[in-house]
Amino acid sequence: MIRGWRCRTQYQLMRKSQIILSAWFRGHAQKNKYKQMKRSALMIQAYVRGWKSRRLLRELKLQQHRHAAASTIAAHWRGYQVRRVYRRYFRADASTRLANFIYRRLVQKFLMGLSRNLPPLSVMDRTWPPAPYKFLADANQELRSIFYRWKCKKYREELPPQRKALLQTKLCASELFKDKKMLYPKRDEEGRDGGFTVQERDGGLRMRNQDGAPGRLNRP
């Protein structure tokens, strides 16, 4: 009787332990299975949502392209209708008048820009902005020549009389001895030129030879 009770008690303990182990194992296995199913469901949902979003984006882009194409076609059609209606109101030389207007506008723009970007007034400065258009090249060169001559004239008008007379004397001497430098010996350190000393005095050129005999070369 005692042995039966002990065996029955031991059997009940073993069965209880087996039930606990089985419950824990099945619970752990079911939890892992649920986690795997949840991850799979999330992955499938993400893929489906992405696919739907991409499809919606393609549809929106297609709709936008269609709307833009329809607007362009409608604009061209309306323009064609307006041109056909108003064509009889235009003169035969309308294109020529329009071209002349465009050319005048370009010339006006070129001259206004040139007036704001003129080079310095120094006569040594020969810079000049290039023509922005090919058909303005000749006019640009002519304006460059006119502007340079005007600068020189303004420079001459502002010169004092003594400086102006000196420059005229130098110009006269340059014209007189032009292309003749090789015919004369080189000037020595004292300023003699072929036995003569050239001096500027009393508004004229005085030439003195080595013997001291004076000479005078008047200005023209």
Residue 82 is encoded by which pair of tokens? 């307006």
**Residues forming a β-bridge with 196:** 193, 209
CA 202 to CA 214: how far, in whole Å?
Answer: 14
In a domain, 14, yes or no: yes
In a domain, 198, yes or no: no
Which of the two residues, 172 and 208, has the higher pLDDT score?
Answer: 172
CA 116 to CA 211: how far, in whole Å?
Answer: 61
Number of domains in the chain: 2
Q: Are residues 120 and 151 in the same domain?
A: yes
In a domain, 165, yes or no: yes
Q: What is the pLDDT of residues 115-135, one digit of tens each?
A: 888 888 888 888 888 888 888
In a domain, 216, yes or no: no
Q: Are residues 10 and 71 in the same domain?
A: yes
Domain that holds residue 32: 1-79
**Residues forming a β-bridge with 204:** 201
Q: What is the pTM of this model?
A: 0.38
Phi, psi at residue 206, to the nearest 5°? -110, 135
pLDDT category of residue 181 using cuts at 50, 70 and 90: low
In a domain, 186, yes or no: no
In a domain, 209, yes or no: no
Report, as an integer, the average pLDDT of 11-39. 90
Contact 147, 118 (CB under 8 A): yes
Is 65 a residue whose pLDDT tops 60?
yes
Residue 186 is encoded by which pair of tokens? 């080189």
In a domain, 11, yes or no: yes
CA 163 to chain CA centroid, Å, is 46
